[in-house]
């Protein structure tokens, strides 16, 4: 047993149970996220788990982050949407590619939880096919001028800055995409109204419209033309974050199913005493244990700087499909009650569903896994 990880697990579990649990229903039904909880998560250093101390983070790794995401998602999946970007997508691109000055200006407040930021890659016609992106950045003296539309951008409305990927050379998009840091309120950047989503209601998702947005060249992140590979690399990190979140959601489904089936009496006995129900619960628990072990393995490899190949995709694919399956089975075990908003499993089922879609669908993960095997 890794005592340090177990201590972190206990402490985050207590925090989530005591501070977040009382708001879970309100967050889901009200489609908002309390500032008070954001501040508390920042005070617990949850926004910067994987960011070194010198840049305002906790100086830990992906193993610790996985435990944090799992324990928070177990109580309120939406809450993890406020922790992932700073630790994975945005945090990792800044850590690896930003200049020292950019790190001081952007990464430090992000890791401390003083500001929110997001990652804008997807477009209306470029979702799974990221290379189909059409947002353009044209050079103009000391500046670039950005035009285009990004879609499904997490927390865009609250973000103090957005990492926008745009094409600087359309002859080869894989080698002609660049990442730009666009500050909130930059003229020409318009954030759309939040999507009316099925779940994860504690986090907004909006379009980002860029109309002749003038960005100085010192706001380029990394090298000109290196943006696509940067996005793909950070998505590998992001995917292990989603896998950990899925394990947490899956665990909450198991918790709810155990609690409900023990209490529910049919045919004169608790349904948890029936073999058919017990087999379902055993199957759920087994799949969940496998998913957790996969996440732990990939997180350890990332921390030890070992090559992960397609393993982040394998973990994301398996953990998220498992999460959706377990949430569905747990709802089934609740019978008609599971179909009402009176039981937490209804929200858990809705929240689970996006995990096989965002940060690369299950089908994209299958493509990457098969390529690693065959090509
Ligand atoms: N790390 C670094 N470089 C990578 C990479 C990675 N993980 N994955 C791909 N690349 C590079 C390739 O090496 C290639 O570079 P060269 O042209 O210099 O050889 C380039 O990127 C293009 O890759 P590829 O040829 O594999 O492109 P495809 O269009 O065949 O596939 C996929 C790209 C499908 C893998 C990509 O579009 C993808 O991941 N799509 C899903 C996007 C996604 O997850 N969206 C959700 C966003 S939520 S923030």
Kindly give the confidence (pLDDT) of every residue in the chain, 375 residues in length, as a single tens digit, with 9 standing for 90 and above: 789 999 999 999 999 999 999 999 999 999 999 999 999 999 999 999 999 999 999 999 999 999 999 999 999 999 999 999 999 999 999 999 999 999 999 999 999 999 999 999 999 999 999 999 999 999 999 999 999 999 999 999 999 999 999 999 999 999 999 999 999 999 999 999 999 999 999 999 999 999 999 999 999 999 999 999 999 999 999 999 999 999 999 999 999 999 999 999 999 999 999 999 999 999 999 999 999 999 999 999 999 999 998 999 999 999 999 999 999 999 999 999 999 999 999 999 999 999 999 999 999 999 999 999 999
Which of 195, 232, 238 for mutating ligand 1's site (highest number of atoms within 8 Å of CB)?
232
Query: Which structure tokens are listed for 171?
Result: 């002859």
Which of 86, 124, 172, 174 for mutating ligand 1's site (highest number of atoms within 8 Å of CB)?
174
Q: Whose CA is closest to atom 29 on ligand 1?
A: 131
Q: Is 296 a catalytic residue?
A: no
| d(CA 229, ligand 1 centre) in Å | 7
| d(CA 279, ligand 1 centre) in Å | 40
As a whole number of angstroms, the distance between CA 362 and CA 315 comes to 11
Ligand 1 atom nearest the C-alpha of 228 is 21
DSSP assignment of 153-218 equals EETGGG-SEEEEEEES-TT-GGGSEEEEEEETT-TTEEE-PPP--SS-TTS-EEEEEEEEEEEEGG
pLDDT of residue 309: 85
Q: Are 315 and 355 in contact (CB under 8 A)?
A: no
Ligand 1 pocket member 175 (CB < 6 A): yes
pLDDT of residue 1: 77
As a whole number of angstroms, the distance between CA 31 and CA 26 comes to 8
Ligand 1 pocket member 93 (CB < 6 A): no
| d(CA 230, ligand 1 centre) in Å | 10
Relative to beta strand 161-167, strand 177-183 is antiparallel
As a whole number of angstroms, the distance between CA 73 and CA 294 comes to 17
| d(CA 158, ligand 1 centre) in Å | 28
Helix (H, G, I), strand (E, B) or coil at 137: strand
Q: Are 122 and 246 in contact (CB under 8 A)?
A: no
Ligand 1 pocket member 363 (CB < 6 A): no
Ligand 1 pocket member 128 (CB < 6 A): yes
Ligand 1 pocket member 359 (CB < 6 A): yes
pLDDT of residue 19: 98
Helix (H, G, I), strand (E, B) or coil at 266: strand
Q: Whose CA is closest to atom 15 on ligand 1?
A: 174
φ/ψ bin of 56: left (φ > 0), alpha (ψ from -120 to 50), beta (otherwise): left
pLDDT of residue 2: 87
Ligand 1 atom nearest the C-alpha of 368 is 35
Relative to beta strand 143-154, strand 189-191 is unpaired
Q: Whose CA is closest to atom 24 on ligand 1?
A: 174
As a whole number of angstroms, the distance between CA 342 and CA 339 comes to 9
Q: Which of 70, 71, 311, 359 is catalytic?
A: 359
Consecutive H or E run containing 139: strand 136-140
């Amino acid at each position: 047993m890794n005592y340090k990880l177990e201590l972190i697990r206990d402490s985050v579990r207590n925090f989530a149970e005591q501070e977040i649990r009382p708001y879970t229903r309100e967050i889901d039904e009200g489609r908002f996220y309390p500032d008070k909880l954001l501040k508390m998560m920042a005070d617990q250093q949850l926004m910067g788990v994987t960011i070194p101390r010198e840049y305002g983070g906790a100086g830990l790794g992906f193993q610790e982050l996985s435990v944090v995401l799992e324990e928070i998602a177990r109580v309120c999946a939406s809450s993890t949407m406020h922790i992932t970007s700073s630790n994975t997508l945005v945090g990792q691109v800044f850590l690896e590619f930003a200049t020292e000055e950019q790190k001081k200006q952007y990464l430090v407040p992000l890791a401390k939880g003083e500001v929110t930021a997001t990652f804008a890659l997807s477009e209306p016609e470029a979702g799974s096919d990221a290379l189909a992106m059409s947002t353009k950045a044209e050079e103009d003296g000391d500046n670039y001028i950005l035009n285009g539309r990004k879609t499904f951008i997490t927390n865009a409305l609250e973000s103090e800055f957005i990492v926008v990927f745009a094409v600087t050379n359309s002859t080869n998009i894989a080698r002609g995409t660049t990442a730009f840091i666009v500050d909130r309120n930059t003229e020409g950047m318009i954030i759309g109204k939040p999507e009316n989503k099925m779940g994860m209601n504690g986090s907004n998702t909006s379009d980002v419209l860029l109309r002749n947005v003038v960005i100085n060249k010192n706001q380029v992140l990394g090298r000109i033309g290196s943006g696509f590979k940067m996005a793909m690399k950070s998505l590998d990190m992001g995917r292990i974050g989603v896998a950990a979140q899925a394990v947490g959601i899956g665990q909450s489904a198991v918790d709810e199913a155990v609690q409900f089936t023990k209490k529910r009496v049919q045919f004169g006995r608790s349904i948890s005493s029936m073999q058919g129900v017990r087999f379902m619960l055993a199957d759920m628990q087994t799949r969940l244990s496998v998913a957790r072990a996969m996440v732990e393995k990939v997180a350890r490899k990332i921390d030890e700087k070992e090559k992960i190949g397609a393993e982040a995709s394998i973990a994301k694919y398996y953990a998220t499909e498992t999460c959706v399956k377990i949430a569905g089975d747990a709802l089934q075990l609740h019978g008609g009650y599971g179909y009402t908003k009176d039981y937490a499993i209804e929200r858990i089922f809705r929240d689970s569903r996006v995990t096989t879609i965002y940060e690369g669908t299950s089908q994209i993960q299958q493509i990457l896994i098969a390529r690693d095997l065959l090509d």
